[in-house]
Structure 1
Amino acid sequence: MSNKVYVVGVGLTKFEKPGRRAGWDYPDMARESGTAALEDAGIAYHQVQQAYVGYCYGDSCSGHRAIYELGLTGVPVFNVNSNCSTGSSALFLAAQAIRGGLVDCTLALGFEKMQPGSLSMGAEDRAAPMGEHIKAMAELREMAFPPAPWMFGAAGLEHNEKYGSNPEHFVKIAEKNHRHSVNNPYAQFQDAYSIEQIKNDKMIYAPAQLTRTQCSPTSDGSGAAVVASEKFVERHGLGDRAVEIVGQSLITDLPSTFADRSMISLVGADMSRTAAREVYDQAGIGPDDVDVIELHDCFAPNELLTYEALGLAAEGEAHHLVAKGDTTYGGRWVVNPSGGLISKGHPLGATGLAQCAELTWQLRGDAEKRQVEGAKVALQHNIGLGGSAVVTAYRPANR
């Protein structure tokens, strides 16, 4: 039998446009988020037995350099890089060490110091990690640049053509997330936009009418979570603040990713669907039991696709949730109360831990103006193409 796992402290920096805070380097970001997480848990760094540090852009052992801002205690520090799912992969590993009974207290921390503009594709003298995905996608849809909005925009276009959704649904998702972010002091953007403003913004991928305000930005920032065993929680009297991880799954690409010959599968829908099913089974819950969700809206079409992958809607019916307002306050679920990646920002290594922080605050009742009334079950979804999907379910420890 696996051991229970709890998040007992979370910390987050404000997400910023790259370079906006002069002299703010990744060790500064890590010190800020890590110190906040430790203070939230009410423990000292010397009580942490292992640390998992995620980032995508940096040198070998940047994770060590970042975590040393919290102390030099000799504990194992693991560097994690899994594209956009890096932060949640670090959380998965930190939780796995607790679940397996190896240690009683771990720290997951993620950061990113990014360059402005579109994401770079990496070194040119070796096989690209996303090479096979891009090749398969280019066989289905004419390639466009930048690649990322093309991938997800084309997947959204496939949904439009197969199921009758349309770009207006993507616009409404972006409008919702920007509106939610107005109440998030950690968000990179805190401005609401009208439907017309979003439609008339700079065009990024024309076939899906995907504009800039439907796309996540590059960002600087960091997030952290202290993860602990039941024994640690009891010993330190942390039950009132602890949030239990009641289900967690990390899934990498499946045969269907390529065999389906579908843009929707190639951008991770089957990984997400498989991870969600495993989490529901582990937690003994279903989609209808969930109150609040933070999911990977790197581009507005992906939020719509993820509704189906998480079981919020049947295949081909996600756009009906948008039309009915079922994914915002007053609806069936509140999805991305933080503003999501689109408006909160997307420093790749920190994103999954920012989602964890938001859901921890929601389940504690500490989300202030963003609070989802009566939230008792939370679900987190984070993907990285190339690829992995991480889904996590949470409940307050003492409910």
Structure 2
Amino acid sequence: MTTERLGLIMNGVTGRMGLNQHLIRSILAIREQGGVKLANGDRVMPDPLLVGRDAGKVERLAKQFSVERWTTDLDAALGDKNDTVFFDAATTHARPQLLTKAINAGKHVYCEKPIATNLSEAIEVLKLAKQKGIKHGTVQDKLFLPGLKKLAFLRDSGFFGRMLSVRGEFGYWVFEGDWQEAQRPSWNYRSEDGGGIILDMVCHWRYVLDNLFGEVESISCLGTTDIPERWDENNKKYKATADDSAYATFRLKGGVIAHINMSWATRVYRDDLVTFQVDGTHGSAVAGLSDCVIQARQATPRPVWNPDEKRTHDFYADWQRVPENTTYDNGFKEQWEMFIRHLCEDAPYKYTLLEGAKGVQLAECALQSWKERRWVDVAPIKV
């Protein structure tokens, strides 16, 4: 059995998501476990090259995590034939240009989403990838959450019967940045820099809905900018030009209706930062990031509406927790391993740039629906 090196250019790992999920919990964790095991028993060991604009920050990061290679020269990195994969987790606004440059340099590409701020740019990148014959992937992390994996298990077992509806609640309060530091970067709140919760989160809802409940056929969406002024990383006040809350209803193939509220200006009073309630003729389930509870048709209580008496029934007690009958690895790491197997042994892989483009398309349809105050149909993407 042999171990093959995989040269990996990692751009944008100084940011929260790139650092925590992709570098520390994925690539470094894969290296710690001895690489990715292939079907024939061989292993693939990723060898990361960290890329960033701030030399001091990238060098400190490399030293902190004992990564031997780092640079501020992306062009030189892309010109090195010993590194065959380019990964990007930097700003959405710059992603199409970076992916285009990497693909033209002959690199396979893997990236965060959204893959672009508009569908036209997303399709151009997808076309170029197909033309150049490189392999490509887009992060679809919510599908790998233990809570959503449990929903998929329930669906596949027939637990729901005929699915009727999906109700999602996502969000939390992102501090304005004046008296408490914001948990998200300031560009997230400037539409001119690719910000906005619709562009950021509707991309997620596309792959979640498509893969778990039915392909999205149409959308109605309303967005708002609830916090008009925020403070950036330098404690400078700026105008928030992007939406920070949105409310979307989706019609899915097969008749399921989904509705998702999303907000960076809401305080959490629920079991998790994101929850999905799925109702079906035979049963219902509520899932968060990790846990999932169910209520079967046979165990459904008989509520009676009576506003004249204080409620004494504990509705939460009527639900049963789905047991932890398996272990769950970090979802980002699991996706990295899938993509590496796809690269090195051509293992099946569906989360390509096309899936990323579908997310951008739905976000674009949501913004159009908000602007025109109407339902917008979601057409198949043709490349």
State the TM-score, normalized to the length of structure 2. Answer: 0.30
Structure with more of its chain in helix, by fraction: 1
Structure with more of its chain in strand, by fraction: 2
Q: Which has the higher contact order (CA 8 A, sep 6+)?
A: 1
- Which of these two proteins has the greater Rg computed from alpha carbons? 2
